[in-house]
Structure 1
């Protein structure tokens, strides 16, 4: 891009012209001749020196003419090169804007792939021009082939996206409760609220099937607020029945990352001060590890109101009990298979300098955090967890998620679910 304006041009001439520069060059070129003529007028000389002096004057004049010609030729060649470059830039066609038909995004990855492919098409169109300067060709965007392959959604996928959107707008969210029990007695300590989405055709979708679509459309925070409101209704029902069980509510990573979302939860919880302490906000391990100053301030405000937190969806066993306690975490969920795998090692460590897995429960308990083994699917796992001192556990070996009556959770419709008082007890005594 040219940053300087064009130099002034002489009328009728395509080249710029500097009159002051020309006068200076001529004066310097003919200075020897002027000095020779002036010297001959004031210095007496013999007749034999007249011809040599005349020859010297002629040589100095010729030298001046050569200097003028060389200067003009150099300037002409320079201007010709500049003009050629200017005309070349003017002839460079702008890379055409490649417009692609809108594609319904089913996830943020799809949006990223779409943007990368559009950039690739624009680059391909620009490279067809042989006049493209090097500085333009040197600019390169990430190779789209490094990203997952781009494809248009099938008719079935588009239909599913439409059904999910319609069900969410119709508020067809159902809550199922899965108990968290104490070990080894199997007494229910609290429930985790698990959301489901009921489509118009009666299909019930789990979070893995509909959450990516809601997140891609920017509705994750609205979804989490609805689930929280329903969970508060369930907690109020448990309090009315005299139950001491609390309710855990999962928050999505997309909602937590949204500015102001955590602050908005205080307003919801303040509407029911009698439920403070009865609702546990569960956040993924990844979110706890990437808190910024605003997140920490919002969590501190919620903690001061008496809201307990839980670390959920852990992918490894690396943690600092004291740092987690300082954040207000009162429950920590760890996958049962990860803990048992670490316990089977010679030193009982998951990887690196972490705590021995046999010390997890006691280290967390000293900081006021209760360890929960989640995804307990086999009976043989229960005695191992008891040997590790795990106080709480959750999984299908104890009980699966059970739907809640719509009038309890504030849902609009739900086909024949049963309430907590109607749920068959599927809890087994462990240990």
Structure 2
């Protein structure tokens, strides 16, 4: 038996039928066993018909009441309205390594508390949904080894133990060195040499990526000056982290560095990731224009796809474009010569870029078998372990020099007026 919102009982099945037709059954039974005068037959028969009719009406009313009650319960379920919950039973703490398990237990406990209505709560108050634990930020505690590594990296950066390695970029098919890329390494106190993929996230998390890139650029300028003194025409490229490029005033501070070394204009190539080139705002464009007017060339690096506009990149001052050799070879092996669809045929990359004054560089050439394929695509320059591995620069060559302080962001408009 159930009840409707007015606490009226709603009978089901046989009990409902028996209650509805009891008057009719009693009337029919009485007419059989009790002698009646001829004048009472018609009234009794009429009462029997009315009893059957009202029994049917009673059955209909009971079914409608039950249907409405079930509909209200379904609507409340769909609206996720709070319903009385059983008393909260504290579980025995489960010890696990995953924070998701702990968060899920907390979510279930919080949901049980929220579902129990208080004495002053309205029936219309809804419990706020608890977020899915797997979508919450990780609460994993760093291990002792990770904490130790972070401390070593920060200490090495504070002690300025930055080393430069040079990897050549060669021409195809002659394999003649055209310029070098400066690759930064960090020497820890225990003698471990770390690559950017290991230490750069730690430095970026501490908010010192721009300071790191300035130090690397100053060392690269020293290397470029050494090459000029030896009569070499090779230029040197240096990577700029996306965090540094996005920092307000960083690109303006590089203009200040080049103002202090006019003899190195054109000898240093600033390499920025494809993501950085796609996220330039007005201030970034103004700073790049100031650098471009000084004669600083740019390069697109760390590309993740083959979609680009040569004309737009040339207008921004890009003179070199590094594309992963694997992406180009994969696109060339397709029937239509395309990588994802809208970009041009990979066989037209080098000519299209050359028409805009941009030289294509095949990056990450790790195997010798890739070289003939790149030559067939007309790639003029290439870089990778198939030609040479990065080699360390002597400390006395990359010795740090004294430069003016970095330019503050508020000084950027003044510099723009002076250069324009």
TM class, shorter-length: 0.5 to 0.7
Q: Which residue of the partner structure matches residue 421 of structure 1? A: none
SS of equivalent residue, structure 1 residue 362: helix
Residue 143 of structure 1 and its aligned partner are, at CA, apart by 3.8
Structure 1 position 353, deviation (Å): 2.3
Any unmatched runs of 5+ in structure 1? 1-112, 413-431
Pick the aligned partner of 1:363 from 352, 357, 370: 352
Given that 1:127 and 1:137 are in contact with CA atoms closer than 8 Å, whether structure 2 keeps it comes out as no
Map Cα deviations across residues 343-363 of structure 1 (whole Å, 9 max, x no partner): 011111112121110000000
The 3 A distance-change label for structure 1 pair 142 and 314 is farther
Structure 1: how far apart are the matches of 2:246 and 2:151? Answer: 26
Give the equivalent residue in structure 1 for 2:205. Answer: 216
CA shift, 1:138, in A, is 6.2
Structure 2: how far apart are the matches of 1:217 and 1:307? 29
Aligned to 1:29: none
Is 1:166–2:150 an aligned residue pair? no
Report 1:248-327 matches (<5 A): 248-327=237-316
Q: Residue 164 of structure 2 is aligned with which of 175, 195, 198? A: 175
Instruction: Give the Cα–Cα distance (whole angstroms) in 2 for the partners of residues 411 and 206 of structure 1.
Output: 20
Taking structure 1 as reference, are residues 218 and 345 closer, same or farther at Cα in structure 2, changes over 3 Å only?
Answer: same
Q: Secondary structure at the residue paired with 1:244? A: coil
Q: Is the 1:174–1:411 contact (alpha carbons within 8 Å) kept by the matching residues of 2?
A: no
Q: Assess if the C-alpha contact under 8 Å between 1:251 and 1:281 holds in 2.
A: yes
CA displacement, residues 247-302 of structure 1 (integer Å, 9 cap, x when unaligned):
10100010111111111110111110010111100000011111111111111111
Contact 1:197 1:210 in 2 (8 A): yes
Superposed displacement of residue 150, structure 1: 3.0
Alpha-carbon separation, structure 2, partners of 1:405 and 1:304: 32
Question: What residue is the counterpart of 1:406 in the other structure?
Answer: 395
The two structures, once aligned, show a CA RMSD in angstroms of 2.5
Taking the TM superposition and a 5 Å limit, the aligned residue runs for 1:47-126 are 124=110
Q: Report the TM-score, using the length of structure 2 for normalisation.
A: 0.66
Deviations 1:226-254 (A, max 9, x none): 00000000000000000001110100010
TM-score by length of 1: 0.65
Does the Cα contact within 8 Å between 1:172 and 1:411 map onto a contact in 2? no
Equivalent residues in 2 for 1:363-402, closer than 5 Å: 363-402=352-391
Identify the match of residue 181 of structure 2 among 188, 192, 195.
192
CA distance in structure 2 between the aligned counterparts of 1:204 and 1:317, rounded to whole angstroms: 33
Q: Equivalent residue for 1:99?
A: none
